[in-house]
Amino acid sequence: MLDVVVIGAGQAGLSAAYHLRRRGLVPGTDFVVLDSNDGPGGAWRHRWPSLTLGAAHGIHDLPGLALGTPDPTEPASSVVARYYGTYEDTFDLQVRRPVTVREVRDARPEEYDGLADVAEPGPRGTPGVGAPALPDAAEQPPLVVVGDDEVWVTRTIINATGTWTRPYWPHYPGRELFRGRQLHTHDFWSVEEFRGQHVVVVGGGASAVQFLLPLAEVATTTWATRRPPVFGERDFDREWGIDVERRVKERTSAGLPTLSVVEATGLPLTPEYQRGIDDGVLVSRGMFTGITADGVVFPAAGTPGTAGEPAQETEIKADAILWATGFRPAVDHLSPLRLREHGGAIATDGVHVPRDPRVYLAGYGSGASTIGATRSGRAAAVAAARAVGDRTAAPT
Ligand code: FAD
């Protein structure tokens, strides 16, 4: 019987593992960290090579070991993979990989009989937000974490699986008709693949902006966003992280799908982005209403013609549509626990899930940045350690 299973070894999972260890829980004995990747780096491991450390918005230090000042021209994927690898070794976190968690469910009595003194399963159909609190994790039956070919029985889990494995593609009419290439941020590799083409980039977030600028050097582009992009004067600093946390928390505590970080705070108006605006690259055309075999159709701008005839729609021919439309929490493996609210998301109170005291979520909503993931990993570890009986009165 484990005390904690940490699912995911990205920034949130590693921060959680570090803090569990500091609280006296022993890696491999009291807790395990499971990760579906082949090696260290979390989602960063999969990011395209031109996303260098200098081009990223900044990687926050993990607790106890600073990232230092790596070469800003090196791809962030290799910098972060190396950093996380060193981190795992330094603190002997014993990450188990590749292990994909397929489901987490209540343990059946025969799965934990004799393992420890645990309560019999209580009724499910647990209360949601605002309902009376459930018994704490120690009074609940254990959970079973099902991997590819191994299972773990545990009192609690810290779910830190991020969002990278769940790219979000919104539906627009005609998507299946388009004869060009369609890809998501998740699949992007290099602007060279689009040299000489016309690319429609969809989405108002940081990824879209980061694609548009280099694409404009080798291709022509159209930017499509549902809402006008908001550029502000902010840097992606500590204050920004706290601001994100405050704005996103309102939604997550209500079980509503979270806002993306940029929806919550706007884009920072860097000199580079200002140049992009001045050059017309970072200027949105609004959102198209349909997709054809050869491109996308934007609604007519302005008013109908003088004779009352409707204004004309405009078709923009395109070779590729790049959907920079974000990601959703990778939490399908938690479905057996029935944690979702009517709004479709899992309601959280910080890292706590009011529906189930055995489950902590780290790295979502306000935690979806490296600083937020670090902080929520710590909060989840502190809460989980407390739930299973903190081993250290005064952690060092
Ligand atoms: P991840 O890094 O995604 O780690 C989750 C881990 O869980 C992965 O290793 C995954 O393999 C594993 N996993 C998933 N499902 C399972 C499963 N079922 N079983 C086992 N393991 C599983 N933030 C910043 O602060 N600065 C930036 O510059 C920045 N740039 C970004 C650029 C892009 C394009 C994107 C998409 C995001 C960016 N972010 C940035 C956000 C940042 O990457 C994340 O908030 C943070 O790194 C996520 O950490 P995480 O630990 O929550 O998730």
Q: Provide the Cα torsion 224, 230, 231, 235; round to 10°.
A: -110
Across residues 169-192, what is the average pLDDT?
A: 96
Give yes or no for residue 365 CB within 6 A of ligand 1.
no
What pLDDT was estimated at residue 128?
42
Give yes or no for residue 145 CB within 6 A of ligand 1.
no
Phi, psi of 187 (to 5 degrees): -105, 0
pLDDT confidence tier of residue 298, bands split at 50, 70 and 90: very high
Give yes or no for residue 58 CB within 6 A of ligand 1.
yes
Q: Give the span between the Cα atoms of 314 and 121, in whole angstroms.
A: 60
What pLDDT was estimated at residue 111?
83
What pLDDT was estimated at residue 187?
96
Give yes or no for residue 270 CB within 6 A of ligand 1.
no
Q: E strand or H helix at 272, and its extent?
A: helix 271-278
pLDDT averaged over every residue in the chain: 87
Query: pLDDT digits over 334-359, tens only?
Result: 999 999 998 889 999 999 999 999 99
DSSP state at residue 380:
H
Centre of ligand 1 to C-alpha 174, Å, is 31
Give yes or no for residue 330 CB within 6 A of ligand 1.
yes
Lowest mean pLDDT among 147-151, 210-214, 268-272, 278-282: 268-272
Name the residue with the closest Cα to ligand 1, atom 27.
Answer: 57
Give yes or no for residue 207 CB within 6 A of ligand 1.
yes
Q: Within 10 A of 344 (CB to CB), how many other CB atoms are there? A: 10
Give yes or no for residue 369 CB within 6 A of ligand 1.
yes
Residues 6 or more apart whose Cβ sits within 8 Å of residue 141: 106, 107, 112, 118, 119, 120, 121, 122
Name the residue with the closest Cα to ligand 1, atom 28.
Answer: 57
Centre of ligand 1 to C-alpha 61, Å, is 14
pLDDT confidence tier of residue 233, bands split at 50, 70 and 90: low
- Which residue(s) pair with 290 in the sheet? 297
What pLDDT was estimated at residue 308?
62
Cα 164 from chain centre: 6
Lowest mean pLDDT among 121-125, 258-262, 279-283, 328-332: 121-125
What pLDDT was estimated at residue 394?
44
Give yes or no for residue 43 CB within 6 A of ligand 1.
yes
Tokens 């009192």 -> residue: 155
Mutate to test the pocket of ligand 1, among 325, 370, 376 (most ligand atoms within 8 A of CB): 370
What pLDDT was estimated at residue 269?
86
Across residues 235-253, what is the average pLDDT?
A: 63
Residue type, 211: F
Using the predicted structure, report yes or no on whether residue 31 has a pLDDT greater than 60: yes
Question: In the chain, what percentage of residues exceed pLDDT 70?
Answer: 81
Q: Give the span between the Cα atoms of 362 and 364, in whole angstroms.
A: 6
Give yes or no for residue 161 CB within 6 A of ligand 1.
yes
What's the complex ipTM? 0.98
Domains and CATH numbers, the chain: 2-120+134-165+327-390 (3.50.50.60), 181-233+269-301+310-323 (3.50.50.60)
What pLDDT was estimated at residue 132?
41
What pLDDT was estimated at residue 112?
80
Using the predicted structure, report yes or no on whether residue 246 has a pLDDT greater than 70: no
Residue type, 259: L
Name the residue with the closest Cα to ligand 1, atom 53.
Answer: 162
Across residues 279-294, what is the average pLDDT?
A: 96
Give yes or no for residue 211 CB within 6 A of ligand 1.
no
Give yes or no for residue 361 CB within 6 A of ligand 1.
no
- The reported pTM is 0.86
Q: Give the span between the Cα atoms of 9 and 6, in whole angstroms.
A: 8
Centre of ligand 1 to C-alpha 11, Å, is 7
* Ligand 1 atom having least distance to the Cα of 364: 52
Give yes or no for residue 165 CB within 6 A of ligand 1.
yes
* Ligand 1 atom having least distance to the Cα of 377: 51
Q: Give the span between the Cα atoms of 105 and 333, in whole angstroms.
A: 9
Query: pLDDT digits over 83-128, tens only?
Result: 999 999 999 999 999 999 999 999 988 888 766 555 544 444 344 4
Give yes or no for residue 368 CB within 6 A of ligand 1.
yes
Using the predicted structure, report yes or no on whether residue 189 has a pLDDT greater than 70: yes
Give yes or no for residue 79 CB within 6 A of ligand 1.
no
Mutate to test the pocket of ligand 1, among 35, 77, 84 (most ligand atoms within 8 A of CB): 35
Centre of ligand 1 to C-alpha 43, Å, is 4
